[in-house]
Amino acid sequence: MAKSKTKRRSSRNGGVKVPVAIVAGFMPGLIKVWEAWPNGGSAAAREAGRIYTGVDFWEGNFEWRRLWYGTIPIIAGAVVHRVVGSMLGVNRAIARAGIPFIRI
């Protein structure tokens, strides 16, 4: 009786990975909300709503230019994470180098 060949299994580290590009995409919006915070929590919440959705719920209007501080940088960070990090193999190289929890 012949021995069966065992299938080689790859192992993955299931730890937490922080995608730097996506976190960097959140920074412009968080800075704008932080600047609005001294005017009160409601002003900061209003600013967060305006920059992440583009809608000023108190006045009921939509402005595309507000998205440049919130939503568009997040989308750009996700695209960079996907294209540069995953498709070009930078994240794989970072993992092989032994850097523990940071990815592009």
* Spans of all domains in the chain: 18-103
- Is residue 15 very low, low, confident or very high in pLDDT (cuts 50, 70, 90)? confident
pTM listed for this prediction: 0.80
Q: Record the tokens describing residue 64, joined without a space.
A: 């595309």
- Give CA angle at 54 (60, 62), nearest 5°: 40
- Residue 76 C-alpha from the chain's centroid: 9
What local confidence, expressed as pLDDT, does residue 32 receive? Answer: 96
SS3 19: strand
**DSSP helix, strand, coil percent of the chain (3-state; round to 5):** 60, 10, 30
- Tens digits of residue pLDDT in 36-84: 999 999 999 999 999 999 999 999 999 999 999 999 999 999 999 999 9
Closest-CA residue to 48 (of 63, 70, 68, 64): 70
What local confidence, expressed as pLDDT, does residue 10 receive? Answer: 66
